[in-house]
Amino acid sequence: MARSINQDIHAGGSVYHIQTEYYRSSGKIVTNIFKDGLSVKRLEKDVSDLPEEEIDREVENFHNLVLEKLKAGKKREEAETKRVAAPPEEAEFFIPRELYERLLVEISPFFGIASSFVLDEAIENSRSFSGFLEELTSDLPQEQKKLLTAKIKPLIENYLAVMKKEEESSEESQPEAEESFTLTPELRDKILTVLSDYFGIMASVILDEAVEDWEISGGSYEELVDIISSHADSEEEANEIKTRLMFL
């Protein structure tokens, strides 16, 4: 072990002990946070790639980083301010504002001034709500882990249920997409039979041109009928073609 740093913070009637140590066997710096003698959070940093002469400085830097975050939590608590989760744009997982604030209230009795720090760490290291729940409670004593899980699991489940209901409601409100129309060989033959009465040997040419124009727009059968009937010699003939084709 290259170095060990121990420090206490007093806040809100509780004593927080921060212990940072370097373990040569694993090549990691480990910081444990204790609240009134109980371990509430364990943090690790891999420094196995660092030269031996830089380890002491890195131990001190890591310890001070955790210490500053805890002190920031103490200041927020003393000022009765609320931390609001503002996830990065690229984050794969985040806790929305409303749920974050409710969770912060529930975990405060367990983590005290370390609450926002522990909550942020759990969010950063999670990719799902189940993973988040495990990450948040993982370093607590078993009994406290059970108590905290029982408190916050219903909050998460209720939030997920509300989100699912809103998504389903949104999907139901969306207009149903029109089914795409496909010109089958059977329907094509029926159309040609009708068009032969009006265009004779030109029926096939007119239908091919109409289909080509229609495919560009990707429209419905009604639009295909409109394009075909536009080749009629008169409005009366066009209406008659439309009527017959729509009954196919």
Question: What is the per-residue pLDDT across 91-139, written as a single tens digit (0 to 9) for each?
Answer: 467 778 888 888 988 998 998 888 888 888 888 888 888 888 899 998 8
Q: pLDDT-based confidence at 59, cuts 50/70/90? A: very high
What digits encode the pLDDT tens for the residues 69-83?
887 765 555 434 333
pTM above 0.85, yes or no: no
213 in any annotated domain: yes
CB atoms within 10 A of CB 195: 24
Is the domain of 6 the same as that of 74? yes
Query: What percent of the chain has pLDDT above 70?
Result: 86
Query: Exposed/middle/buried for 119, CB within 10 Å: 0-12, 13-18, 19+?
Result: buried
Is the domain of 5 the same as that of 62? yes
Is the domain of 162 the same as that of 211? no
179 in any annotated domain: no
Structural domain for 224, as ranges:
185-246
177 in any annotated domain: no
Is the domain of 73 the same as that of 92? no
Is the domain of 7 the same as that of 47? yes
- The 8 Å CB, 24+ separation contacts for 237-245 are 237/198, 241/194, 241/195, 241/198, 244/194, 245/191, 245/194
Average pLDDT over residues 199-208: 86
203 in any annotated domain: yes
**Distance between CA 56 and CA 233 in Å, rounded?**
94
Q: pLDDT-based confidence at 149, cuts 50/70/90? A: very high
Is the domain of 71 the same as that of 93? no
Range scoring the smallest mean pLDDT among 75-84, 98-107, 160-169, 197-206: 75-84
Q: Which of 126, 146, 172 is the last residue of a domain?
A: 172
Stronger pLDDT, 3 or 108, i.e. the higher one: 108
180 in any annotated domain: no
Is the domain of 198 the same as that of 162? no
Residue 3 predicted with pLDDT over 80: no
Number of domains the chain is built from: 3
**What per-residue confidence (pLDDT) applies to 117?**
85
**What per-residue confidence (pLDDT) applies to 98?**
82
Q: Which of 27, 53, 78 is the last residue of a domain?
A: 78
**What per-residue confidence (pLDDT) applies to 161?**
85
Is the domain of 159 the same as that of 190? no
Contact assessment for residue 236 and residue 196, using Cβ atoms and an 8 Å cutoff: no
Range scoring the smallest mean pLDDT among 28-42, 85-99, 176-190, 226-240: 85-99
Is the domain of 74 the same as that of 108? no
Is the domain of 121 the same as that of 135? yes
Residue 179 predicted with pLDDT over 60: no
Is the domain of 97 the same as that of 161? yes
Is the domain of 139 the same as that of 212? no
Q: Which of 78, 110, 143 is the last residue of a domain?
A: 78
**What per-residue confidence (pLDDT) applies to 83?**
38
178 in any annotated domain: no
**What per-residue confidence (pLDDT) applies to 87?**
44
| Gap between the terminal Cα atoms of the chain | 87
200 in any annotated domain: yes
25 in any annotated domain: yes
